[in-house]
Amino acid sequence: MTKREAGRGEGDAARMLPRLLAAAILIGLLALPTAADACPICASETGAEVRAGIFNEDFGWNLLVTVLPFPLMLGIAAALHFGFAPRERGEGDGVDGASSPTSAGAR
Per residue in 10-35, pLDDT (tens digit) is 677 778 888 899 999 998 888 776 66
Q: What is the pLDDT of residue 98?
A: 53
Per residue in 34-85, pLDDT (tens digit) is 666 677 888 889 999 999 999 999 999 999 999 999 999 999 999 999 987 7
* C-alpha–C-alpha distance, residues 9 and 3, integer Å: 11
Q: Provide the whole-model pTM.
A: 0.40
Q: What is the pLDDT of residue 25?
A: 92
Find the DSSP H helices in 31-100.
34-37, 45-54, 59-67, 69-82
- Rounded to the nearest 10 degrees, the angle between the axes of helix 69-82 and helix 59-67 is 20
